Amino acid sequence: MSGAQGSDLNRNPPRSGRLDHAEGASVPLHSRVREAQPRGAVINGDQPINQAEAAERFMAAPEHERMHDARLWDLRQKRDRQMHGITEWEDLRRLASEIKEHALTHLDHYLEQFETNARANGIHVHWAQDADEHNAIILSLLRDHGVKRLIKSKSMLTEECGFRDFMAESGVEVVETDLGERIQQLDDEAPSHVVVPAVHKLRSDVADVFARTLGTDPNDDDVHYLTEQQREKTRPLILDAQAGLTGANFVVAETGTFVVCTNEGNADLSANTPPLQIASIGIEKVIPRLEDLPVFVRLLSRSALGSPITQYTSHFRGPRRGGELHVVLVDNGRSERLGMEQFWTSLKCIRCGACMNTCPVFRRSGGLSYGATYAGPIGLIIDPTFNRHRYSSLPFSSTLNGSCTNVCPVKINIHEQIAGWRRVLAETHELPLMKKAMMREAGHLLSHPALYRAAIATADSALKHLPRFMVYNRLNTWGHGREVPAPPRETFHQWYAANRASGQGEPS
């Protein structure tokens, strides 16, 4: 889906006659001061990502944190208004979940059906086991056609495969056509959100990026000026490209077709301007029948942006006259995840980003703090399937409040899977030494009731009298960025012993 709505670029107050949904219903937000943009998590080889450290840096930039939180909460509220406007909303969620589960449990059948029907439509179908094969297949196609420049629309799968860096090393220029993705590309950053890639940026950030890379006025952060300048600079590159690449939101096995949903029309430009069209598609995107598609189309944009439908819902059935269409179906760990009894339903995800928009941790820490292609709640359960060690800290970046599960349009039990990954990481010895020691001591304490009660009473008494510097220090991780709750006058066990154990206070 389109990323332009995600940056601080669309901040004009609504005018009379505008749409009453999506961007037309946005609360006007304005950044109050210029502030340096915090960068994302530090990547140090295969070492575990320190999401907490990157989150602290993001929160230390109060204007970015405020705007990021407000923008995403605005999307969550618009999603809720759309939900309440459809009486059959829960029926749609149930249907979507059942369709995806059926497709995933019969994945081999529907993938083969899609391949057969796609080939009959004139589409060349390729299979890639992993990211390296995906990149090699596309590079081979580009070299066969003498391609030096490729334009592409937003695709999280290509981000997952490190596609753009690979192509740069191979001498192929890749130009992003989605506005949010283009901003991120010019700033040498990954997208921070699966739908709105530049949502963490202020208008002043975009003005700085464009001034540095496109030669625009660094002091002019007017949204119309910035958008027009990007269009004027990028359009010649699009018209001169020899190949175009898109992703896909849905793949229909019955018809051998695929569907791409955008709000800018950039996927259509990428698909129809050059003679060579390529689509990179994860194998989990397949659905059985064309009549299943409307269920997901009704849920996708409403869940993501609070609009009834994307501006463009483009169906691709075959190559245009005189052109070629190639589809690369990519596994890259999906088959392995399908065999994980506790985590396979994460493959139902339709990349709407609703879980991110509602997550209090994501909204306040920024997507780049996760140091992974997929951030937020869905990332916490997907990323460890790619690299359990590198992403071992991410499942702990959650309050487990369950809001992500409540808004998921395909009913993935996200918060339960986050808790499940915590257990797996503990059992496979992926916890940091400090966390492991703390969990071991907590387990010992909680398994001895008398010791636990004595410890609670001692801690409550100490908190009432200890000076602040002894409570807020590096050993007390709870006190990092928040106040320790005031100790109660008495514990529940003390209250129960005084009021109920002897029969006092029993209801008549």
- Neighbour tally for 232: CB within 10 Å: 11
Is residue 380 a part of any domain in this protein?
A: no
Q: Identify which has the larger pLDDT, 170 or 431.
A: 170
Where is the domain boundary, 335, 354, 373? 335
pLDDT of residue 190: 96
Domain that holds residue 495: 433-499
Cα dihedral 425, 430, 434, 439 sign:
positive
For the residues 470-497, what does the mean pLDDT come to?
78
For the residues 400-428, what does the mean pLDDT come to?
96
Q: How far is CA 207 from CA 7, 234, 235, in A?
A: 12, 16, 19
Q: What are residue 259's DSSP bridge partners?
A: 250, 315
Cα dihedral 58, 49, 304, 327 sign:
positive
Q: Distance (Å, rounded) from C-alpha 105 to C-alpha 242?
A: 39
Is residue 395 a part of any domain in this protein?
A: no
What stretches of 129-238 adopt beta strand conformation (E)?
A: 149-152, 173-176
Q: Distance (Å, rounded) from C-alpha 174 to C-alpha 358?
A: 33
| Band (143; pLDDT cuts 50, 70, 90) | very high
Where is the domain boundary, 318, 335, 352? 335
Same domain, yes or no: 440 and 328 = no
Same domain, yes or no: 327 and 452 = no
pLDDT of residue 12: 47
Q: Distance (Å, rounded) from C-alpha 142 to C-alpha 160?
A: 20
Element (H, E) at 471: helix 468-471
Mean pLDDT, all residues of the chain: 91
Does the structure show a pLDDT above 50 at 213?
A: yes
State the CATH number of the domain containing residue 92.
3.40.50.10420
Does the structure show a pLDDT above 50 at 160?
A: yes
Same domain, yes or no: 316 and 460 = no
Is residue 346 a part of any domain in this protein?
A: no
| Band (502; pLDDT cuts 50, 70, 90) | low
Where is the domain boundary, 287, 309, 335? 335
Same domain, yes or no: 70 and 181 = yes
pLDDT of residue 10: 45
Give how many domains the chain has, as a whole number: 2
Is residue 383 a part of any domain in this protein?
A: no
Is residue 102 a part of any domain in this protein?
A: yes
| Band (473; pLDDT cuts 50, 70, 90) | confident
Same domain, yes or no: 235 and 94 = yes
For the residues 47-70, what does the mean pLDDT come to?
95
Is residue 382 a part of any domain in this protein?
A: no
Per-residue pLDDT tens over the stretch 319-328:
999 999 999 9
Q: What percent of the chain has pLDDT over 90?
A: 77
pLDDT of residue 19: 58
pLDDT of residue 446: 82
Q: Distance (Å, rounded) from C-alpha 129 to C-alpha 334?
A: 9
Element (H, E) at 405: helix 403-407
Same domain, yes or no: 322 and 456 = no
Is residue 417 a part of any domain in this protein?
A: no
Confirm if 367 and 345 have CB atoms less than 8 A apart. no
Single pTM value for the model = 0.87
| Band (69; pLDDT cuts 50, 70, 90) | very high
Does the structure show a pLDDT above 80 at 92?
A: yes
pLDDT of residue 23: 62
Same domain, yes or no: 181 and 68 = yes
Confirm if 153 and 247 have CB atoms less than 8 A apart. yes
Same domain, yes or no: 309 and 448 = no
| Band (1; pLDDT cuts 50, 70, 90) | low
Confirm if 308 and 261 have CB atoms less than 8 A apart. no
Q: Name the amino acid, one letter, at 87.
A: T
pLDDT of residue 495: 86
pLDDT of residue 474: 74
Same domain, yes or no: 174 and 306 = yes
For the residues 388-406, what does the mean pLDDT come to?
96
pLDDT of residue 468: 78
Q: Identify which has the larger pLDDT, 323 or 502.
A: 323
Question: How many residues in the chain?
Answer: 508
Same domain, yes or no: 69 and 214 = yes
| Band (22; pLDDT cuts 50, 70, 90) | low
Is residue 20 a part of any domain in this protein?
A: yes
